[in-house]
Structure 1
Amino acid sequence: MNHQEKTPKKTLVRELIALHLISNLGARRIRMLIQAAGHPQDIFRMNRRELQSIHGIGPKTAEQIVSFDGWSEVDRILQKTERIGAVLMTLWDEDYPPLLREIYDSPLLLWIKGNRRALQTDSVAIVGTRKAGRYGRDAARLFARELSKRGLTITSGLAYGIDGAAHRATVAAGGCTVGVLGSGIDIIYPAAHKKLAADIIDTGGAIISEFPVGTDPDAGNFPVRNRIVSGLSLGTLVVASGIAGGSMITAKLALDQNREVFVVPHPIGTPNAIGCNNLIQRGMGKLVQDVEDILEEIEVHISKRDSEGREEEPGEDLDDTPRWRSLELDELSADICKTLQGNPLHIDDLAERLGVEPHKLLPTLLELELQECVRQMSGKNFELGF
């Protein structure tokens, strides 16, 4: 892949960071903006009236976009990202975590320190209260150790209590673990877990965040990051929890994402019993007593995925094969690529051949450009990528 082919992604990253700096915009509304504008760059060229015509964009947000002048801050974030040894992943990258891509509001950007490939592994989330008692901490260690020995990655939030116990047990067992932050990748919270974060990275795991570098660990960030904890995972194990709090939020998010929820039962009247026992009582999670109770559920998903992979035709030497043929594209995307097989086309000519209005082609062309299936040339001309 040459430098020219990489340029659209670099441009996209800069625009996405800028959009992340606009308060209360969020991944879902940024996606809607990209779909309406056709390309992230074009969002900042729209006027207030055009922006407010997009569902979910009010006068205040439109004004923030039109008046955005934080490009020097964007460049500072990119420079600091490189300086601290972090990398950026976008939703359109080929190695974006497949399970995370499936959720309703997948993060568009992820900052990563450590092993990027850790996000491609089969994972179970282990979550629970920061104020865990001995029973909860012992259970977290047990399940983390045994699951990691079975080759599963342990995902959690690097917090005190259950999170920390699960991460440490995985590291000690020589397993892979991923910590998801509610702050910028450069701000480990709590600070007492800086060494734990370093140990996670040193043993082949990763620390990730969707928040730009320099973002403080504000309370509102943690419920947002919890969807990533559950979204990365085949299932979420709630080890200890009160009736409210982050663990209960993560369990509900996992259910919304059509993922498994597992729950450690607690003796009646003990601390942190109410939340776990309530999930079991309401049928919102499977009571687990040992690691086999989890494995028998998630192995069904792993076997199904592996079986689907084996059903695909054996790969051939794709060096001379157009990239788009190796991807599962929707009908319009495939039609675009087929039409571009001969010669480059202006977007108006492409739209005429496909019988689709030009502005409706732009979002799909952007997706194909980011997947390196097509390239945009000067003057709104497009050619097939290889």
Structure 2
Amino acid sequence: MHIDLDSFFVSVERKFNPELIGKAIIIGGDARRGVVASCSYEARKFGVHSGMSSRDAFKLCPHAISVRGNHHLYSEASREVTKIIDEMVPLYQKASVDEFYIDLTGTDRFFDPYTLASQVRQRIIKETELPISFGLASGKTVAKMATNRAKPNGQLFVPHGSEMQFLAPLPISAIPGLGESTASKLYAYGIEKIGDLQRVELRFLETVFGKAGNWIWDKARGIDHAEIVPHSDRKSISTERTFSTNISDGRTLESILVSMTEELSSKLRRENKLASCLAIKIRYANFETHMQQEKIALTSAEHILIPGIKNLLKRAWNHHRPIRLIGVRLSQLCTGSYQINLFEDNEQQIKLYQAMDQINFRFGDKTVCRAAGMEIGTRNFNPFLKE
């Protein structure tokens, strides 16, 4: 079973803002310099798709509504869906924030797998109010392709033995993992549909594509022996910001980094996680990208992470060059609560973190934050904290 939450980011935004329903929505960064993270089906009709530049997207669909996006809301929605799946199925793999593979092998001894798959989908829709599609098949590839055919908000079962019949009328570009270069070569030989590909001899594909020819031959027949990789906790969290105007002011960059680090450390504590490696990512105006990282003692506390991130900025940044994008990543995560540092921490420090987390969890991220993390030009008075 392959599950995909339809236009996930857009659906979550619409859940909290019903006025967006039925309208062309583009989620991403700055309308001039950002990249489309997600878009509604209304926008897709104009040729907009994920990964394209925001500038090109708004040329195709100038009336679209731009939404910056809220990764906290998306993460929470993803966790809700994951929890439901975890409770209902024996084995699953979380392929991304909005995509899952579920192994129902053997469940047919007790009940109909398609009925169970339908029940999983209906429960997710009922409890999260999000549209979702699924495909059910003998392997991961055909299941994913069935999901794509079932969208939006539908479901499709491809019985074992009918894979080739299902695949035949589809374009070769529908095969997951088949790149543009490979597709172009196949087009040159007059192979446009998967049915055309099914009639080609394996020897021909091996001659043209080498070992990849076997992979293409299998995919065209729905043969996929890949197993479900059980879900495991993520090993890193990160966030990054692309600026509408390149920035070369160190104070502004530090302010943004403090805000980003504070956000990530709060997320660590909320998920009962600790990090032992921190990293900074810098992209200059010419798209040249640099990363700097260092190992640290396990922690989830900003007063330890923030100085470390500031030091990484000093080491990674050539101060004569303006920055286009900056990011923070906390990795090598493990489960555990923040350990009190007997030499540096005190009861007031620990209670402060607990109070901040409770307020931000109840009223939303950044309700209470460090003054140093409030970006220059958008600062509001904060009576609770100051650096």
TM-score of the pair, normalised by structure 1: 0.31
Structure with bigger gyration radius: 2
More helix by share: 1
